[in-house]
Amino acid sequence: MASLNHIQSRLLLAFLVPGAFGCSANSVSRDARLDDTGPVDVGPPLCAVDASTDAPAPSCWALGRLTTRTGCSDTHCERDGGVLMLKADYASCGITAPDPAVDAQANGELSEAAGALSLDDDQCEFHAFVLPDCAAAARTLYFEADLSTMMGGAVPAGAMPYVEAFSSPTHLAPRVDASTETAPGHYRIGPVTFDVPGQWTVTLHFFGTCQDNTPMSPHAHVTFKLDVP
């Protein structure tokens, strides 16, 4: 896993160079911190869950407020009319690869969920669906996540996902390692508290016990933005 200095350097670069890592972070004064006990003034969503007037109100303020680094659709793995699909080298980390004959996975249960964000990991080895779920505290979220290979295949058990999130290079959410793997490839991660308004950059790491700098490492990260009103 990356050292603290390495992580802080990446965050500083993302803040100083708009578009670095496909996102920009907005610095928010600590004086602008919201009362975490009050309701969230959601405002208009960035990616509407359902634009119809008959649609019920979203059950969680964060629904529709997750975007990829390029907008509501993720295109960073598209190449010349096709999609880049790389295969993770599980053996490099001592992980037994799933048997496709018995461990087939059809994109998981979140693929049809309203408000789920579809995105590929940074190295185009895995595909994920991410759905925010509000916790008891007003600005605290769980993330439900389905992970599959880029071809829609199963992934090994034991991904142990964790969260890194920041709203500016100097305002980081505490790293959250807590997660529950309800089935191989399906996880509930959190809770994570987003204590200031503005645009947050959120990265979900999977197979974080594997080195991040070896070719085709299973260590994967999906990065998205969350607009906190």
What is the tens place of the pLDDT at every residue in 62-106? 998 999 887 788 888 987 778 899 999 999 999 998 877 666 555
pLDDT (0 to 100) of residue 104: 58
pLDDT (0 to 100) of residue 81: 74
Nearest Cα residue to 164 out of 208, 198, 209, 120: 208
> Could you tell me how far CA 157 lies from the centroid of its own chain?
18
The answer to whether residues 206 and 126 touch, using CB atoms and an 8 Å cutoff, is yes
pLDDT (0 to 100) of residue 173: 92
User: 6: part of which helix (H) or strand (E)?
Assistant: helix 4-16
- Please determine, for residue 175, whether its predicted confidence score (pLDDT) is greater than 70: yes
- Please determine, for residue 206, whether its predicted confidence score (pLDDT) is greater than 90: yes
This prediction has a pTM of 0.76
pLDDT category, 50, cuts 50, 70, 90? low
Q: Which residues, other chains included, contact 228 with Cβ-Cβ below 8 Å and sequence gap of 6+?
A: 65, 139, 167, 194, 196, 197, 198, 199, 200
Q: Which tokens hold the place of 95?
A: 């992980």
